[in-house]
Every structure is written in C-alpha cells, then in structure tokens.
Amino acid sequence: MELLIVAFGGGAGAISRFLLGAKIQHHWPSPPIPVAMLIVNILGSIGLGVFFGAMFEGIPIFEYHNPWFLLLGIGYFGAFTTFSTFSVEAITLLEQKKYPKAVYYIVLSIGGSLAGFVFGIYWFI
C-alpha cells in the first residue's frame, strides 16, 4: 500500500512540475538561466517546508508509516522538485562556458531552495 501512496503522490508531483515548467517557459522562452526549474525547485522546497512545519512541527524522522509523509513528503514534493534536471542544466551552462550564468544558477538554486525550505518550515513552528 505504501508504494501506491508514493506512486500516486509522485505522479501528481511530476505532472505538476511539467505543467508549471511549461507555463513558465511559455511566458519566458529564452531566459538567461534555466528559470523554470529554478522556480519549481524553490517553490517545491517552500512547499515541503510548509508541509513539514504544519504536519510535524519540524523535520520528520522515520515517518515511513505515515501516509501523508509518503504521499506528499516523498511522493509529491520528491517528484515535483528535481535535482537531476538542475544538475543537467548547471553542467550544460558550464560546458557552454557560460561560467557566470552557471555560478549564478547554482547559487540561486541551492541557496534559494535551502532558504525556501527554512522559510516554509519555520512559518509553522
């Protein structure tokens, strides 16, 4: 049953990521850095923080029995945010020798995601 819960949340998160990313790219087709995944990852980090803060009042440990943790924490937000796409985009910028843009993208992605998570979780603690 746990696998179905994670799969359902993951499917919903992946679809949400695709739709939001496509909408952002439609409105901003040639950004200087990969802004769609930047926004998705920061929003996902804020959302995960809000979920953890509201549901658990902190970062949960060993909540694999909790269906909400499986559905949203692992499934939805795990699939909505994507470190692999961030990695591909960062390496692509480096391979294209766009070093300032690559550094800017990496710092904004990691720093923004961490700050977003902290903001989200402490919103409810």
* Residue 78 labelled as part of a binding site: yes
**What would the two tokens of residue 65 be?**
């029995």
Q: Give the dihedral sign, CA 46/67/65/124.
A: positive
Contact between 105 and 38 under an 8 Å Cβ cutoff? The reply is yes
* CA 6 to centroid of chain Cα atoms: 16
Q: Which residues contact 13 (CB under 8 A, 6 or more apart)?
A: 75, 76, 77, 78, 79, 80
* Residue 112 labelled as part of a binding site: no
Q: Which of 79, 73, 67, 78 minimizes the C-alpha distance to 5?
A: 67
Q: Which residues contact 88 (CB under 8 A, 6 or more apart)?
A: none
> Known binding site: residues?
78, 81
> Known binding site for Na(+): residues?
78, 81
